[in-house]
Structure 1
Amino acid sequence: MSPRRRVRDRDSEVRRQPLSQPPEQDGWVVRRVTGAATVRAYRCPGCDQEIRPGMPHVVVWSAQDTDAAGRRHWHTACWAARDRRGVKVHRSKNAPRYG
């Protein structure tokens, strides 16, 4: 005998619909990427280190930006700490340092 299943009333059930886009955070759209979904290396703008294939991370783009050119791949910890860190400035070897 098979177990009895409880039949739900479809009108009272809250229907879940998939999101067309991930939710926004402070004007940014953030999508979490699993390690299994990554197949190439990226450069994290928060720490300027490589995100290796197979490493889970987040993909972030502006809520107003619709094309893929504005997407950036961040380490999850770097994205969470972005407001506590300064900007990584790329300088040449002999460039003057101010401040």
Structure 2
Amino acid sequence: MARSNRSRSRAARAREEHPELDVERLTSGWRRTEVRGGREWNVQPVSEAQAAKAYLCPGCGQDVAPGVAHLVAWRADGVLGDAADLASRRHWHTHCWRIGAA
């Protein structure tokens, strides 16, 4: 039987070369940087599916319950370095962060 010299289609190669997209990661949001009160903050949205634990919101003092979409914020310009800033991150209700309780 003769062998075909034709190359595979572009679509067939693309399916083989690229991993499947992680939809949850894409819909969970992206980390961004915001400036508040002269300080730079990293802000990372957390989706309902990713919110597995309860946290205390520093803005209102109420619980951020498991399964509730919220934000995680930490300093981006701290003097003690990135590891210390990341260790001091806090989980905020989205509303509390938006009204500027930081």
Which category describes the TM-score, using the shorter chain as reference length? 0.5 to 0.7
2:61 aligned to which of 33, 48, 52: 48
Greater per-residue strand proportion: 2
Q: Render the CA deviation track for 1:16-70: whole Å, top value 9, x for unaligned.
A: xxxxx82210010100000110111000000000000000000000003522321
Of residues 14, 28, 31 in structure 2, which corresponds to 1:22? 31
Q: Give the one of 31, 40, 62 matched to 2:44.
A: 31
Gaps of 5+ in 1: 6-20, 88-99
Unmatched tracts of structure 2, length 5 or more: 1-10, 12-29
Tell me how large the CA RMSD over aligned residues is.
2.0
Amino acid at match of 1:76: T
TM value normalised by structure 1: 0.59
Q: Flag the structure with higher helix content.
A: 2
User: Partner of 1:39: helix, strand, or coil?
Assistant: coil
Taking only the aligned residue pairs, the percentage that are identical comes to: 40
How many residues of Structure 1 are paired with residues of Structure 2 in the alignment? 65
